[in-house]
Structure 1
Amino acid sequence: MKKFEIYKNIRKRAVIMGLPIALFALMMTAVIGSLLFVIFCFSFSVIIGVFVFNGALYIGLTHFTRNPSLLHFKKVFPQAISNKKQSALKYEDPNGHLT
């Protein structure tokens, strides 16, 4: 008989329409905001602009989901934390007097 392991962290990898839950929520917020924008500023160019904006946002979010390294610029924390002075300037001579 097979034994199946319980997977408790299923929400971490949940995907809706190809987007993680947080990015899907961002997309839905943009859709609702654009619907409000269309309702209050009704014109054909606004409708076309909203469709283009939402399409570009969806394509961009799915692109970032597939390649998460695009948003990773550098490490946040250094590998070692030290109190050592970074400057090569010497403010005291060997006798302890200021120069």
Structure 2
Amino acid sequence: MKRYKVYRNIRMRATIMGLPITLFALMMVSVVCSLLLVIFTFQFGVIVGLLLFNALLYGALSQWVKRPFQITAGKTFPDIISNKRLSPLSYVQH
């Protein structure tokens, strides 16, 4: 009788071929579009180009999964939060 191992690492993301589900879906859309192009334009250069494109896309996506870059547009919050007026003008009469 076959024994199955209990899956205990529930926080780990599900992957297919080393890619998360969304990136794998992107890869499959690329493959399907490539197949449509091969079917409708049956040329050797197109076939080689699409194979190369899909291989490079898979390589880029797998590298991105290993080392994702984080986009930082700037500081979100200031260093100090204060009620002090920033204007040098005095609004109070002495």
TM-score (norm 2): 0.69
Root-mean-square deviation over aligned CA pairs: 3.2
Structure with greater contact order relative to length (CA < 8 Å, sep ≥ 6): 2
Counterparts of residues 15-94 of structure 1 (less than 5 Å): 15-68=15-68, 70=69, 72-75=70-73, 78-80=76-78
Percent identity reads 40
Give ranges in structure 1 of 5+ residues lacking alignment: none
Please identify which structure carries the higher helix content.
Answer: 1
Change (3 A) 1:67 1:50: same
TM-score (norm 1): 0.66
Task: State the 1:73 CA deviation.
Answer: 2.3
Partner Cα distance (1:36, 1:27) in 2:
14
Give ranges in structure 2 of 5+ residues lacking alignment: 1-5
